[in-house]
Amino acid sequence: MKTEIIYEDKMLLVVRKPAGLAVQTARVAQADVASELKNYLKTPYLGVIHRLDQPVEGLLVFAKTKEAAAALSGQLGEGVLKKWYYTAICGKPVAEQGELVDYLYKDTKANRSLVVGQQDRIRYPEAKKAVLRYRLLVYAEEQDRSLLEIQIDTGRFHQIRAQMAHAGMALLGDVKYGEAEAKGTSGRQGGDNLALCAYYLEFQHPAQKKRMCFQIRPEGKAFSCFHYIF
């Protein structure tokens, strides 16, 4: 099993999803996190609370009961379930911290999100508000790379990748949204290697009501020049 189980009890599972493995897929004979966990639990039911893009590594919580799924989904909607991400970008951001507020339209044909300007909101009425906050953790001058921490208030499709690229801070290794320099790092660092890791997860246990916190170190090669930080 590629999925790593970090924590398990009668109501939930907290796992580490490796980069390259989908959370769920409709493709026949292709492995995904949900299928691996269902086989492990030997049960047809698994509550998928939130997702990560296939090239993203990081923490996820799954519910083993419908009651737990309802509680955790409620926490996600209310902002009680919190997620923080590490990412790396080329260069140094103009502002060391900031908030990005955009409207995103999911283009299903192109399988990407578009940042919709104020003048185009009528053309794309389905566009949804997306809020993201970032802060610079460290700048590696020798490599001209920055390590950022990101928190999102909304969970839009490709939100971090689309908003950061639109703000001129494309993620290293992002072949879909990045410019030439950001895209090129994927090849130099060894294949499909998006610099995005959901490293911290926090929520309230559905039954015990205690705060649950989990944290991991990113394993992707895109973070290699910041190994001394983790």
129 with 154, same domain: the answer is yes
Q: Taking 50 as the threshold, does the pLDDT of residue 186 lie above it? A: no
pLDDT recorded at residue 47: 96
121 with 93, same domain: the answer is yes
70 with 89, same domain: the answer is no
Q: Taking 90 as the threshold, does the pLDDT of residue 125 lie above it? A: no
pLDDT recorded at residue 189: 46
229 vs 189 pLDDT, higher one: 229
Q: Taking 50 as the threshold, does the pLDDT of residue 200 lie above it? A: yes
Write the DSSP string, 131-163: EEEEEEEEEETTTTEEEEEEEESS--TTHHHHH
Q: Are 145 and 225 in contact (CB under 8 A)?
A: yes
Looking at residue 181, which CATH number applies to its domain?
3.30.2350.10
Whether residue 10 lies inside any domain: the answer is yes
pLDDT digits (tens, 9 = 90+) for 86-118: 999 999 999 999 999 999 989 888 889 989 887
Q: Residues 14-26: what's their mean pLDDT? A: 91
pLDDT recorded at residue 30: 78
Whether residue 130 lies inside any domain: the answer is yes
